[in-house]
Amino acid sequence: MGVLARADAAVRELYPLLEGLIARFEESGHALYLVGGSVRDAALGRLGHDLDFTTPARPDVVQAILDDWAETVWDTGIDYGTVSAAYKGQQIEITTFRSDVYDGDSRNPEVAYGDTLEGDLTRRDFKVNAMAVELRSDGPEFHDPMDGLGDLAARVLDTPAAPEQSFHDDPLRMLRAARFASQLEFDVAPRVLTAMKDMAGEIQRITVERVQVELDKLMLGSLPERGIDLLCSSGIADYVFPEIPAIAMEPDEHAQHKDVYAHSLKVLRQAIDQEEDGPDLVLRWAALLHDIGKPATRDTTDGKVSFHHHEVVGAKLARKRLRKLKYPKHVTEDIAQLIYLHMRFHGFDGDSWTDSAVRRYVTDAGELLPRLHKLTRADCTTRNKKKAARLARTYDLLEERIAEIAAKEDLARVRPDLDGNEIMEILDLKPGPEVGKAWNFMKELRLEEGPLEREVAIAKLREWWESR
């Protein structure tokens, strides 16, 4: 089925749901168009539950129609000509034709309503998002003045107007190009890439909050490595996440990849291949960033390249950058902790780790342990099949050790055998720093020796206390 036929079929499937809305717009004398990403996704066979519409009707008319038809209506975007609604599981946004004017300083336009569909479509970011389907009671009519279908068939992103003008109006569109490259698995047109390279610095006009949103959408796409590579090759990553392109020139210690950058993209893909319940943003970011500490730790002593403690430096760099991008604290800390722990496994050979070492591995990872398993396995990108099989088997052994110990004790929640109240009673202490020191001793003892009988734990606590 061709893209146009697929789009037509998908739109017709919406008619039973939307017939009341279509009738109300016709009664008011105004056209209603499915538009933008909704038409694109319909043509790609991936239409979801968020539907975007445009119309020549002004917002007050739109709101009156929706009030009469939808289950819920809200007008938080009405200053920009948008009224939203919910109806039978669909999220609906209807925006009045726009012909915005940009001041060239911010990405926020001076909102101006338009009078034509083509004028509204021309202002959009990419041709594949500049298609519309008029919804009429006698059937849909397709509108594609920019040949978005041609770009869709060619799997390419190009702008309706000159890309330089489009990106000057709204630099966020350059990030959206990378995001769509990831989500849709499209390439950008040569002139778009040229403009992105020439105008990369314009991205500094965009707030970090908006940058973060687009980066996350990119990372959650089906092919994030394509989006990341576009940001790096265009120079935009130098402004939004410079630690990523910085690894492009660093050869890894085994010279098995062109550079650490290529290795990191492969680790990202291998981590994605292990996802079980949909895209995992924390795992994906940790996989991409796990080696960003290598440039700062590169050492060529004796002619060999090494990156000692790059995981420590990498965790600090990731934490600093993610904070600048205003990521939530728990997301930042989880990503940084995975980076910090990703080399821990390489000291394990099957027999050398004590039960204490296994406990510490599990305890330090905490709730991140399943992700750490995936990240560590993904970090093996050697082309040597025997070595890859050996590493995989060694990690299998570690997981078996974890399972064996977990069967005997609660590894998920390692706690001292005595709590703070018991420690205060046994040592006759009042609340204060000394109790914390005693608790930490008992925690270390628990990690080292596993669960102890109460009498043994009390004896060891008293012995430690007296030895101080």
Tell me yes or no: is domain 254-413 CATH 1.10.3210: yes
- Distances 325 to 21, 241, 244, 332 between C-alpha atoms, Å: 41, 9, 14, 10
Cβ of 386: how many Cβ atoms within 10 Å?
A: 8
**How many angstroms separate the CA atoms of 402 and 350, rounded?**
12
User: How many Cβ atoms from other residues are within 10 Å of residue 376's Cβ?
Assistant: 22
- Contact between 233 and 294 under an 8 Å Cβ cutoff? The reply is no
Average pLDDT for runs of 10 along the chain of length 468 = 86 94 96 96 91 96 95 90 94 90 60 88 94 96 95 96 94 97 97 98 96 97 97 98 88 56 95 95 98 88 80 96 97 97 79 76 86 93 82 83 72 60 74 76 71 73 75
What's the pLDDT at 392? 83
CATH superfamily of 3-154: Beta Polymerase, domain 2 (3.30.460.10)
Segment 439-443 long-range contacts (CB within 8 Å, at least 24 positions apart): 442/416, 442/417, 442/418, 443/414, 443/415, 443/416
Distances (CA, A) of 163 to 167, 220, 226, 256, 428: 6, 25, 20, 38, 74
Q: Which two tokens stand for residue 186?
A: 């499209």
Phi-psi category of residue 451: left, alpha or beta, with phi > 0 → left and psi -120 to 50 → alpha: beta
What is the reported pTM? 0.83
Based on DSSP, count helices (H) and strands (E) in the chain, helices before strands: 22, 9
CA distance 120 to 95: 10
Q: Record the tokens describing residue 63, joined without a space.
A: 């709101």
- For residue 115, which phi and psi values (nearest 5 degrees)? -120, -10
What sign results for the dihedral spanned by CA atoms 267, 278, 219, 40?
Answer: positive
Distance between CA atoms of residues 22 and 8, nearest Å: 16
In this predicted structure, what is the pLDDT of residue 411? Answer: 54
CATH class entry, domain 156-240: mainly alpha
Residue with tokens 């392109």: 245
pLDDT of residue 256: 44
pLDDT at 268: 97
State the pLDDT at residue 383: 80
393-425 b/e with 16+ CB inside 10 Å = b? eebeebeebbeebeeeeebeebebbbeeebbbe
Q: Is residue 16 within a helix (H) or strand (E), and if so which, with residue range?
A: helix 3-28
What is the amino acid identity at position 15? Y
